[in-house]
Amino acid sequence: MELEEKFVNRENIYDGKVLNVVKDTVLLPNGKEAVREFCLHIGAVAVLPLLDDGTVIMERQFRYAHGDVLLEIPAGKLDFPDEDKLLAAKRELREETGALAKRWTDLGMLVPSPAIISEKIQLFLAEGITFTETEPDEDEFIDVERIPLSELYGMAIRGEIPDAKTQVCVLRAWAVKNGLK
Amino acid sequence: MELEEKFVNRENIYDGKVLNVVKDTVLLPNGKEAVREFCLHIGAVAVLPLLDDGTVIMERQFRYAHGDVLLEIPAGKLDFPDEDKLLAAKRELREETGALAKRWTDLGMLVPSPAIISEKIQLFLAEGITFTETEPDEDEFIDVERIPLSELYGMAIRGEIPDAKTQVCVLRAWAVKNGLK
């Protein structure tokens, strides 16, 4: 079946501080027109930093859109559209946790919400970690703690890690470290 | 550390067909004001329908915001805010694939993009499947196919399933069926 939708025109709805909302008219495969409203996103990286003792550097952060504190791995947006994903991941990890990593493993790409945001998140496993100083944003409130990967894996399996990038990275990193294929 | 941000006021930015964008002013833990732009979402359900022969009913759908066809499990939005998640999952599965399931397992809740959308997706594993008629939306173009769960698991481990809800459901369903804890 022909599935592709073709661009007809774009209306810029909102160009905010973090959100950039557009409304495109598209041509459906059956020749009819339809409207696609979505958020443009520059792209992001997320890192599961695994220490030699088997613990992971995790963050707890209040997510206003959900009214709740979520347990997440370090992550952040790209600084510019074609930024090297690995360099961005190294920057975000260092700024948020003060960690430097010797070994990096690509854990693939995640599309968190395909109908609503163009966001793609590149996932990494970081190992061989040493620490330097953090560069916290004074308006960012993040609790950093260490949790064993084995404990995080159990939490993911029991459905106790709601954040998508975090749950995927934990399940994938566990598979990598345990030789699952 | 105190992490919570408190509501001060809301500006309605855009009330579209699928997107509802708001801009809230909030009080940070340090007493300063900040702005939170995000999309309100009614909530969604996603279902991994596992047939007795070990295959899963999968969908390929063009996702305009990504300019690409993605491999996904059946999913859809709630019809109203307090809709029963299991009933919504049964409806979406039947409408999109014609499948009815005898056994349902809750696979937990997913927050796809915590900074940008209030969306929560309730995940289910559906088994004991029989078929009735589909009720396709004439403006929805979806290719339905069956793929073995073992093959999907390999794809997820190799980072070949970008869609978050799909990757999480495949990894979780594999764990459930293989007794991993």
Q: Which pLDDT score is estimated for B135?
A: 74
Average pLDDT over residues A108-134: 94
Same domain, A48 and A95: yes
Q: Residue B170: phi, psi to the nearest 5?
A: -65, -45
Q: Which pLDDT score is estimated for B181?
A: 63
Same domain, B57 and B134: yes
Nearest C-alpha neighbor of A115 from the set B88, B168, B84, B76? B76
Which of B64, B71, B118 has the most A C-beta neighbours within 10 Å, making it the best mutation to test the interface with A? B64
**Cα B84 to Cα B81: distance, rounded to the nearest angstrom:** 9
Chain B residue at shortest CA distance from A4: B62
Distance from CA of B129 to the nearest CA of A (A): 24
Q: Which pLDDT score is estimated for A140?
A: 79
* Three-class DSSP category at B167: helix
Average pLDDT over residues A97-107: 95
Nearest C-alpha neighbor of B70 from the set B160, B146, B134? B160
Same domain, A10 and A72: no
Nearest C-alpha neighbor of B23 from the set A68, A120, A61, A21? A21
Same domain, B88 and B48: yes
Distance from CA of A100 to the nearest CA of B (A): 24
Measured between beta carbons, which residues in chain B are less than 8 angstroms from residue A62? Answer: 3-5
3-state helix, strand, coil in chain B (%, to 5): 20, 45, 35
Higher pLDDT: A87 or B137? It is A87
Task: For residue B2, name the pLDDT band (cuts at 50, 70, 90).
Answer: confident
The answer to whether residue B18 is domain-embedded is yes
**Cα B166 to Cα B58: distance, rounded to the nearest angstrom:** 9
Q: Is the pLDDT of residue A139 over 80?
A: no
Q: Which pLDDT score is estimated for B133?
A: 80
Contacts of B44 (CB under 8 A, 6+ apart): B75, B76, B77, B78, B119, B120, B121, B122
Contact pairs from chain A to chain B, CB under 8 Å:
211
The answer to whether residue B69 is domain-embedded is yes
Lowest mean pLDDT among A25-29, B43-47, B57-61, B174-178: B174-178
Q: CA dist B109 to A157, B120, B169, Å?
A: 11, 7, 10
Q: Residue A35: phi, psi to the nearest 5?
A: -110, 135
Q: Which residues of A are catalytic?
A: 138
Same domain, A83 and A143: yes
Model confidence over B67-121: pLDDT tens digits? Answer: 999 999 999 999 998 999 999 999 999 998 999 999 999 999 999 999 999 999 9
Helix axes A164-177, B149-157, angle to 10 degrees: 90
Q: Which residues pair with B47 in a beta bridge?
A: B124
Measured between beta carbons, which residues in chain A are less than 8 angstroms from residue B77? Answer: none
Q: CA dist B46 to A11, A103, A160, B70, B101, Å?
A: 31, 35, 17, 15, 14
Q: Is the pLDDT of residue A66 over 90?
A: yes
Average pLDDT over residues B156-172: 94
Q: Which pLDDT score is estimated for B144?
A: 92
Instruction: Decide if B143 touches A, using CB distance below 8 A.
Output: yes
> Into how many domains does chain A fold?
2
B138-173 residues labelled b (16+ CB within 10 A) or e (exposed): eeebbebeeeebeebbbbbbebebbbbbbbbbbbbb
Instruction: Decide if B21 touches A, using CB distance below 8 A.
Output: yes
Instruction: Decide if B131 touches A, using CB distance below 8 A.
Output: no
**Structural tokens at position B123:** 């995940």
Same domain, A74 and A128: yes
Same domain, A22 and A108: no
**Cα B35 to Cα A105: distance, rounded to the nearest angstrom:** 35
The answer to whether residue A65 is domain-embedded is yes
Q: Which pLDDT score is estimated for A15?
A: 94
Q: CA dist A178 to A48, A109, A171, B160, Å?
A: 15, 21, 11, 19
Per the CB < 8 A criterion, the answer to whether B66 and A111 are in contact is yes
Same domain, B22 and B48: no
The answer to whether residue A1 is domain-embedded is no
Q: CA dist A176 to A85, B76, B157, Å?
A: 20, 31, 8
The answer to whether residue B1 is domain-embedded is no
Contacts of B175 (CB under 8 A, 6+ apart): A157, A171, B181
Instruction: Decide if A41 touches B, using CB distance below 8 A.
Output: yes
Same domain, B69 and B98: yes
What is the CATH number for B170? Answer: 3.90.79.10
Q: CA dist A79 to A62, A83, A109, Å?
A: 23, 7, 18
Question: How many Cβ atoms are within 10 Å of A94's Cβ, its own excluded?
Answer: 18
Same domain, B23 and B80: no
What is the domain extent for residue B109? 44-177
Q: What is the ipTM of this complex?
A: 0.92
Q: Is the pLDDT of residue A48 over 80?
A: yes
Per the CB < 8 A criterion, the answer to whether A77 and A92 are in contact is no
Average pLDDT over residues A85-107: 95
Q: Residue B6: phi, psi to the nearest 5?
A: -105, 140
